[in-house]
Amino acid sequence: MNLRGKIQLGLVSAALAAGALWAPAASAATLRICSDPDNLPFSQSAGPEHGFYIDLANLVAKKLDAQPEYTWWVSMYQGKALRYTLRARTCDAYFALPAGADYETPGLARTHGFLDVSYAVVASPSFTFTKLADLKGKRVGVQFDTTPQIILAEQGGYNTTTYRTAEEMFTALNKGEIDAAFMWGPIAGYENKLQHQDKWRVTPVSGDHMSGQVAVAVRAADTELLAKLNAALTALQPEITQLAEKYGFPLAKPIDVAAASNPARLGTVGFARNSWHGADVPISAVHRVGYVVPTGTQVAQASTGGKPPPSADAAAGREFFNSTCAHCHSPDGASPIRARDLRRLKGLFGDQWPEVAKTTIENGRPNLGMPTWKGILTDQQLKQILAFLATIQSDD
């Protein structure tokens, strides 16, 4: 999981060495595939496991009597990943995207959905989960800015604790700090199988913004390739089920749960809305919650406007803020959404703004998706964040 932080945002490789991943050495055609280099259980460019998408892509290439050739691009920035791979013609098939019509991909076409994916409830096998209300009275772990967190907060009556990663939720389960965790099903199943020897029961759910399907994307003009991919995926359905079992994806009949009371806050099915960078990103990456600035990219420096350079605390606070808080408030707190623009704190609250900011950070705003940071941030980190916020306050 460490490769993502080391990869420069850019084209990593057009093809891997022969025999490293796949299939026949000699073939009459090449299937150029693009995917994420570090996103298990879905895809990985190196290591003993290559992920569900890559295993499937190799089977599809074999079915088409083609040699697979890989282009890798980190998918945390989904729009950019598509722009510099499929749209730039460095590859011909993108594994994979949400299949739902509500996920718009202008200029691209998608195959039929080939795999059901959804959120899931992870709990002890002794806990019977049949409806959403079964979670009332339980201590429930949710992941920041995901559909379960928003739904449970809006409906009320649930005792939730917000975490940043699936791994943190599994740790809390093992320590007995929570009774159940509500997380992305493929990640839950994979982690449960790989790290916890199927200790927990992973129950998939269905419902608006809770479940969907994934598909392979191609350029809209590539109608012949699209037809071939659809035929191959249909023929490979038994193998697709076997691969899902291999990676621990939950395949039981899903439990239907009620839709959110405010669906406008929820993103495309299968995607997390505005999780890191102001656009939809693959929910498959949600186990790495946080605004990640890959090596080789920089957040634009804020103008000092003639003010003295920031202190060491402010510089450290800025770095922490942009790696942790910019998913909602934008880099340097300069959100185009006025309610999230942290440059306005002084104008709104006068000299009391530091205390207001401190209290809000510590207590969070769970009903709006902001987690509680008290007990997570150290006093020093909180001091640094406040020092940074002081440097961006508008004089207006």
Compute the average pLDDT of residues 14-31: 48
pLDDT-wise least confident of 53-57, 187-191, 267-271, 284-288: 284-288
Whether the per-residue pLDDT at 153 is higher than 90: the answer is no
Q: Which of 152, 145, 86, 85 is nearest to 278 (CA)?
A: 145
Residue-level pLDDT at 281: 33
Which of 10-14, 17-21, 149-153, 380-384 shows the highest mean pLDDT? 380-384
Q: What is the rounded CA–CA span in Å between residue 139 and residue 218?
A: 43
Entry pTM: 0.66
pLDDT-wise least confident of 14-28, 146-160, 167-181, 224-238: 14-28
Domain covering 117-206, topology: D-Maltodextrin-Binding Protein; domain 2 (3.40.190)
Which of 144-153, 292-301, 310-319, 335-344 shows the highest mean pLDDT? 310-319
Contact 244, 237 (CB under 8 A): no
pLDDT tens-digit readout, 273-291: 322 222 233 333 333 222 2
Residue-level pLDDT at 285: 35
State phi, psi for 150 to the nearest 5 degrees. -65, -45
CB proximity list for 116: less than 8 A, separation 6 or greater: 204, 211, 212, 213, 254
Question: Mean pLDDT for the chain?
Answer: 80
Whether the per-residue pLDDT at 25 is higher than 70: the answer is no
State phi, psi for 295 to the nearest 5 degrees. -55, 135
Q: What is the rounded CA–CA span in Å between residue 90 and residue 71?
A: 7
pLDDT band at 309 (very low <50, low <70, confident <90, very high): low
Residue-level pLDDT at 364: 84
Percent of the chain with pLDDT over 90: 57
User: Comparing 183 with 146, which gets the higher pLDDT?
Assistant: 183
Residue-level pLDDT at 147: 86
Whether the per-residue pLDDT at 142 is higher than 70: the answer is yes
Residue-level pLDDT at 114: 97
Compute the average pLDDT of residues 156-170: 90
Whether the per-residue pLDDT at 331 is higher than 90: the answer is no
Only one residue has tokens 């993502």, namely 4
Token digits for 255? Answer: 């439990």
- Longest Cα pair distance anywhere in the chain, in angstroms? 72
Compute the average pLDDT of residues 102-116: 93
Compute the average pLDDT of residues 232-257: 97
Residue-level pLDDT at 371: 79
Q: How many CB atoms lie within 10 A of CB 227?
A: 11
Domain covering 3-115+213-246, topology: D-Maltodextrin-Binding Protein; domain 2 (3.40.190)
Compute the average pLDDT of residues 330-357: 85
User: Comparing 262 with 95, which gets the higher pLDDT?
Assistant: 95
Token digits for 170? Answer: 């599994």
Compute the average pLDDT of residues 320-331: 77
Q: Do domains 117-206 and 312-392 have the same CATH topology?
A: no
Compute the average pLDDT of residues 43-72: 96
Compute the average pLDDT of residues 372-383: 88
Compute the average pLDDT of residues 69-76: 91
Domain covering 312-392, topology: Cytochrome Bc1 Complex; Chain D, domain 2 (1.10.760)
Whether the per-residue pLDDT at 87 is higher than 70: the answer is yes
State phi, psi for 35 to the nearest 5 degrees. -160, 180
Domain boundaries, the chain: 3-115+213-246, 117-206, 312-392
Compute the average pLDDT of residues 67-76: 92
Contact 83, 212 (CB under 8 A): no
Q: What is the rounded CA–CA span in Å between residue 47 and residue 31?
A: 22
Residue-level pLDDT at 145: 73
Residue-level pLDDT at 221: 97
Contact 373, 328 (CB under 8 A): no
Q: Which of 226, 246, 245 is nearest to 234 (CA)?
A: 226
Q: What is the rounded CA–CA span in Å between residue 296 and residue 65?
A: 38
Whether the per-residue pLDDT at 203 is higher than 80: the answer is yes
